[in-house]
């Protein structure tokens, strides 16, 4: 890695290396941009990128981001910096963004808050096209097709959730198990654990699935009682909500 690279000069170095065919220097600058993408967005140099260079960066699996919404906002901020000449690039840049993995609610709030009518209409048209393609959405969810835009980037932040389960003191009897309703999240960027709102019903052996940005918990067992209840965690509202119960109580063991 080239010394003295920082968020204020890395794009300048990247553009210089690209113009002079300095491939090694370009790779180093590019790696820095990917690793510090959120810091680079706050620098004036970011807005000097051409739409081709920006599109190439936004396509990368290596962008170190918290969530895909940050990539969308970066593209729109770049366009808004010079609306008159850059508005026409909205469709090509948004193609670089994985819209299906951004919360629909978050997308709609963001579009509604845009001040430029042209941008607002353009983004609404793009979002409407995604909504109308139900067959693609279904096939992607079922794993029948491998659509890259439906998958998080390789270097995007991954959160690991640990939900429910049971605990007992060392050397305690099996009957002394304590059923847990806790939920904790491990942040793979910060390497930290965070305590989140607990389940509505403590249980172990839960069936858990992540779908469309939410976490579903179904069935399980607590104190020899097998549950048919189910609930869903909404990360935007930070709470568990009840959903229709299973047709039969279930426990995987």
Q: In this predicted model, what pLDDT tens digit does every residue of 146-168 receive, in sequence order?
A: 555 667 888 887 888 999 998 87
Residue 24's CATH number: 1.25.40.420
94-121 confidence digits (pLDDT tens): 999 988 888 888 898 999 999 999 899 9
Q: Residue 207: give the domain boundaries.
A: 159-243
In terms of pLDDT, which residue wins out, 176 or 219? Answer: 219
Mean pLDDT of all residues in 196-213: 90
- For residue 79, give the nearest of 90, 69, 94, 68 by alpha carbon: 90
Rg (CA), the chain: 23
Does 192 lie in the same domain as 124?
no
Whether the pLDDT of residue 243 is over 90: the answer is yes
Cα-Cα-Cα-Cα dihedral sign, residues 133, 135, 139, 142 = positive
Whether the pLDDT of residue 208 is over 90: the answer is yes
Average pLDDT, the chain: 87
Indicate whether 227 belongs to any domain.
Answer: yes
The answer to whether residues 59 and 122 belong to one domain is yes
Mean pLDDT over 174-184 rounds to 85
Q: Which of 150, 168, 200 is the last residue of a domain?
A: 150
Task: Pick 128 or 198 by higher pLDDT.
Answer: 198
* 86 compared with 212, residue with greater pLDDT: 86
pLDDT value for 137: 55
Q: For 28-37, what is the mean pLDDT?
A: 93
Does residue 14 sit in the same domain as residue 131?
A: yes
Q: Are residues 113 and 224 located together in one domain of the fold?
A: no
Asked, for residue 251, whether it belongs to a domain, the answer is no
């Amino acid at each position: 890695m080239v010394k003295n690279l920082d968020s204020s000069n890395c794009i300048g170095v990247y553009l210089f290396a690209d113009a002079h065919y300095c491939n090694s220097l370009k790779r180093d600058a590019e790696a820095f941009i990917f690793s510090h993408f959120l810091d680079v967005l706050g620098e004036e140099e970011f807005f000097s990128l051409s739409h081709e260079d920006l599109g190439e960066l936004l396509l990368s699996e290596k962008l170190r981001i918290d969530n895909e919404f940050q990539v969308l906002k970066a593209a729109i901020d770049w366009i808004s910096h010079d609306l008159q000449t850059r508005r026409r690039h909205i469709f090509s840049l948004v193609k670089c963004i994985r819209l299906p993995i951004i919360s629909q609610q978050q997308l709609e709030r963001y579009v509604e808050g845009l001040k430029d009518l042209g941008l607002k209409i353009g983004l609404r048209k793009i979002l409407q096209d995604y909504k109308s393609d139900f067959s693609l959405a279904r096939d992607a969810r079922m794993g029948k097709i491998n659509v890259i835009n439906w998958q998080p980037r390789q270097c995007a932040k991954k959160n690991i959730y640990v939900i429910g389960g049971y605990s007992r003191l060392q050397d305690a009897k099996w009957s002394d198990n304590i059923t847990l309703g806790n939920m904790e999240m491990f942040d793979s960027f910060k390497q930290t654990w965070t305590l989140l709102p607990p389940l509505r019903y403590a249980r172990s052996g839960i069936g858990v699935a992540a779908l469309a940005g939410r976490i579903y918990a179904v069935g399980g067992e607590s104190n020899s009682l097998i549950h048919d209840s189910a609930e869903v965690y909404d990360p935007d509202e930070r709470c568990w909500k009840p959903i229709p119960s299973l047709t039969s109580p279930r426990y995987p063991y």
